[in-house]
Amino acid sequence: MSARAGQKPLFSVLDVEKAYEVGRAPPARRFARGAPRLLHALDGVRLDVAEGDAVALVGESGSGKSTLVRLMLGLEAATEGRLLYRGTDLASLGVEARKTFSREVAYIYQDARGSMNPRMRIGDVLAEPMRLHGLCAEADVPARVGALLERVGLSATMRDRFPSELSGGQVRRVAVARALASEPKIVFADESVAGLDVSVQAQLLNLLRSLRREMGLTLVFITHDLGVASYLCDRIAVMYLGRVVEEGPTGDVLTRPRHPYSRALMDAFPSFGRPLGAPLRGEIPSPIDLPRGCRFASRCPQARDACRETEPVLVADGPGRRVACAFPLSS
């Protein structure tokens, strides 16, 4: 874990689980209700985010990365486990603390356009967090809005437009601007560059990187794209079916993966100068009826009997690295 000695991490996720009920199994007796069938979106996640970190949450469908972020934002409550922000449990934040939390924690939605009120002009969209948290005098708001727009590479005249008038790339930039408007300590972003043309994506990535450097922001970035993860973030947490299976410095994990799933992700990722690798077999299992033992065993190229018996725990594996595998890959 990368928390500097003596410094409390900004965010602590402690053995968090999140289960959704998705119907019930057939009842054992007539007139009884069947046992609830649970979808385990998160099944025991332990993660720390220190101030100044840039963490990439990487995983495929069903990995639980989006759910984890929603829990960290307080949008939903965990079924088990605790989430701490600056040492305080999210579930027991007082009114004042809650306000501070909303100011210090910003979220860039995946659906950037949908996350803005279509009837509000961009200028008002950006001004809203400023006014809400009383960050400056009312008279200064237009100037700050203009400055924000220019910081994200848009012209200040955009303040009078509506979100529906903007292109996909522009609306993402406004979403970034809005996240910055409250002068946050930590920014969460969900696939903020997915689905964009490469040149637009590159522009946005550069923007995020320079903003991070300039403002010393803490960043938690959800992505399925390993290249984006390595470009933006210095730490990576690979998730599979509701658990973190590997964690560590991005470059390290991606060049010397220890978990077979991380290696499989690396191999599957298209890259120049490398032919299409032998892909992972099998489908991603359903998070509803999880198999016993290691949840990756069904697809793992080196699964052994022991793997199907006991679930591996996330343990330290060298400086700053953790891996959840009974037989980690050798470097």
Q: Is 206 in the site for another protein (CB under 8 A)?
A: yes
Q: Is 227 in the site for another protein (CB under 8 A)?
A: yes
Q: How far is the C-alpha of 183 from the C-alpha of 180, rounded, in Å? A: 5
Beta strands in 11-122 (DSSP E): 11-24, 36-49, 54-58, 80-85, 88-89, 105-108
Q: Is 221 in the site for another protein (CB under 8 A)?
A: no
Q: How far is the C-alpha of 278 from the C-alpha of 262, rounded, in Å? A: 14
Q: How far is the CB of 62 from another protein (least distance, A)?
A: 6
Q: How far is the CB of 3 from another protein (least distance, A)?
A: 26
Residues 262-301 that bind another protein (CB under 8 A): 264-265, 267-281, 283-284
Residues 134-193 that bind another protein (CB under 8 A): 160, 162-164, 167-168, 171-172, 182, 190-191
**Nearer Cβ to another protein, position 8 or 151?**
151
Pair of tokens at residue 5: 């000695």
Residues 19-48 that bind another protein (CB under 8 A): none
Residues 2-21 that bind another protein (CB under 8 A): none
**Nearer Cβ to another protein, position 2 or 100?**
100
Q: How far is the C-alpha of 103 from the C-alpha of 169, rounded, in Å? A: 25
Residue in 68, 177, 203, 328 binding another protein, rule: CB under 8 A: 203
Mask 85-114, x = binds another protein (CB under 8 A)?
-------------xx--xx---x-xxxxxx
Asked whether 43 and 243 are in contact (CB, 8 A), the reply is yes
Q: How far is the CB of 307 from another protein (least distance, A)?
A: 18
Judged by CB under 8 A, how many residues of this single chain contact another protein? 83
Beta strands in 270-319 (DSSP E): 315-316
If you compute the radius of gyration of the chain from its CA atoms, what whole number of angstroms results?
21
Beta strands in 158-273 (DSSP E): 186-190, 218-223, 235-240, 243-249
Q: How far is the CB of 139 from another protein (least distance, A)?
A: 17
- The residue assigned the tokens 């100011």 is 103
**Nearer Cβ to another protein, position 146 or 257?**
257
Q: Which stretch binds another protein (CB under 8 A): 11-19, 55-63, 241-249, 319-327?
A: 55-63
Residues 296-325 that bind another protein (CB under 8 A): none
Q: How far is the CB of 235 from another protein (least distance, A)?
A: 15
85 DSSP β-pair partners: 11, 88
Residue in 77, 132, 147, 316 binding another protein, rule: CB under 8 A: 132
- The residue assigned the tokens 């065993």 is 297
- Helix extents (H) in 6-140: 65-72, 95-104, 122-132
- The residue assigned the tokens 């730490």 is 235
C-alpha neighbours within 13 Å on the C-beta side of residue 150: 8
